Amino acid sequence: MWIWTAVFLLGLSAGERTDKEKTSKRMEITAGDFNEKLQSGKILFIYFEHQVSPPVSLFLVEMEKSAEVLQDYGVLVRKVNCRTELVPTYCTDERLQRTAFLFRGGKEFLSFDLDTVFDVNSMVAEVLFAILREEVKYVHTDADLLAMERTARGKKDMVLCYVQSLGTQEHRSIMETAYVYGSKHQFILITGGPVLKQLGANESSLSSRVWFLHCRIPGGFSTPTASERCPVTRMRRALSTLNLHSFLQLMEAPLVLEVDVDPSSVPPPQFPYQLTPQVFLFSRPATEHLDRDAAGALAWRLRGVALLLLVHRQSPAVKTPEEFNVAYRRPEKSSEVKYLTLHSLDEVSEIFLDQDKEEEEEEEEEEEEDESQFGKLNDEVAASVFENTGNLMDLDSITQLTSENFHSEVAQSSLTVVLFYLKWDAVSMAFLSSFIEVAEKLEESKVDDVLMSVVDCGEWTDLCAAQPSALVPFQPITEFPRVVLLRPQESPQYYESMLGSEALHRFIILSRTAAPVRLSTQEEVTSFLQEVPHGSQAGDRPDRVLGLFRSPTDASAFVEAAMSLRGEVLSGLLMDGPAEKWYRPKFYIFNAAL
């Protein structure tokens, strides 16, 4: 038995300028442009290129990627070619070859050694850290922290963030969150030392962590201690943009909520607390003062883990039997209320803190898997997306998915393209505009088998976190914006290409075709090689790969490769007798093509 295989690679594109080349062209400015932008008072992140070397080339690639991200924070990223332009000092002093500069208010604000701004994460983190000097303070000692707590007492809560080193993904998440919440909370950054010890954390076992310091102190309930230190709540989830956003929202919840109805009549928690457990304690008129103190003490223990409600038994609406003194609901699992008889607050807190610790460990493991499984999304978004950031976007052309309608909507379409985004994330909102543009193009070209949809992860956190109760086919969404393609009975497909409308449109059009297309006749092969997919842009000639195989066993590796390239190229498969008939008369052409 002989085995033969053949693969045709067709339709290679050439001569077009890539998006990166266009970005590079936009980044480069003249000495005159530099002086003009400097006088305008805009924030500029600039590198003065003296000569090209491998390290500098790598830096410039990452700098181009950061340009669109930082633009959303009001920072212009530019490059001056000192070989053709002359900017005094910056282009004449060779000692500055490994330095990038931040200008603000018409003058040099800060300089960065290239070793500290080596990729997109470090550039975004370090530049925002420099801009947000008042919103984010760096402390070295516990005495520094104590002084800040005293100043913040009664005025402002604080968010204390620990990262092992600056310039990491975690550091970037903190800075981007501080950009949004910095006017509301005082952010503090540490990288270890005595402050970490004061918080009882082991530096060697942590990569990152966040604590919320309640310095404003909610009224009506006493603090857990009489210390001059602000009460502290630790974020128990792994540090990511979404988790930090959800944690800060949870810190705004009332410490204790008092109700006069039965726990079963209390609705499940609403946005943004919809995944947070509810704990009910019962109060009697004779012991109301003690009951309120107990509720406050337990609420501080469960801060960030559960919402505490105090139920007044004297109300006729309360039907819970006297034998029960505690009730709880876990909305992420069920809306059912469970009743217990416990003998101490410790027993109540153990129920939630022990399980929360297990979930925290599982999430940290999942975070590590995510980092290895998913590549980083390209941060390049079309430069003209936000000509007017105040304009509201028209969402009529896309479907907004929620926890309630997700499964029903996805089940009705052969291909669902989902954009997971955060409303307060500038890059998410920029790409949302491009996503809507793609949806409108598909509608105009009468492509009706694709459902373009979005999920606001700031609101539907259970869906984006892929909670077990959600029963979704994808992994937890930890990077934003994120595009996922879903098909019935198939594994999800993650879009990893450029965050621009043209690239996404092309990917979706090519993804509509099976990978590979099963061919059986000469006519089908000719059609596969010549026809342009419906909905394609004018002049777009996608690459095609045709596999010729003796048997399905021989074709298994090709099928796997075709599935991984779905959306990038069109793939076809011809097997058995038809493959041999089509191949033999063209053998000399095939050899020439190879």
* pLDDT tens digits, 471-503: 788 888 888 889 999 998 888 999 988 778 888
Q: For residue 557, what pLDDT is reported?
A: 83
Q: For residue 484, what pLDDT is reported?
A: 95
Q: For residue 370, what pLDDT is reported?
A: 42
Q: For residue 376, what pLDDT is reported?
A: 36
Measured distance CA(73)–CA(379) in Å, rounded = 14
Q: What is the mean pLDDT of residues 75-86?
A: 93
Per CATH, the architecture of 132-250 is what? 3-Layer(aba) Sandwich (3.40)
| DSSP labels, 215-250 | -S--TTS--S---SSPPEEE--S---HHHHHHHHHH
Establish how many alpha carbons lie within 13 A of residue 562's alpha carbon, considering only the half-sphere containing its beta carbon: 22
Q: For residue 36, what pLDDT is reported?
A: 93
Q: For residue 522, what pLDDT is reported?
A: 76
Q: Are 310 and 256 in contact (CB under 8 A)?
A: yes
Residue 383 has pLDDT above 50, yes or no: no
Higher-pLDDT residue of 371, 433: 433
Q: For residue 427, what pLDDT is reported?
A: 77
Per CATH, the architecture of 256-355 is what? 3-Layer(aba) Sandwich (3.40)
Q: For residue 323, what pLDDT is reported?
A: 92
User: Which residues, at least 6 apart from 86, have a Cβ–Cβ distance to it below 8 Å?
Assistant: 31, 92
Residues 176-197 have pLDDT tens digits of: 999 989 999 999 999 888 888 8
CA-based nearest residue to 482, from 495, 492, 473: 495
- CATH 3.40.30.10 residue ranges of the chain are 19-129, 132-250, 256-355, 399-504
Measured distance CA(501)–CA(467) in Å, rounded = 30
Higher-pLDDT residue of 386, 34: 34
Q: For residue 356, what pLDDT is reported?
A: 58
Top CATH class, 19-129:
alpha beta
Which CATH topology does 399-504 take?
Answer: Glutaredoxin (3.40.30)
Q: For residue 454, what pLDDT is reported?
A: 95
The two structure tokens encoding residue 168: 């990491």
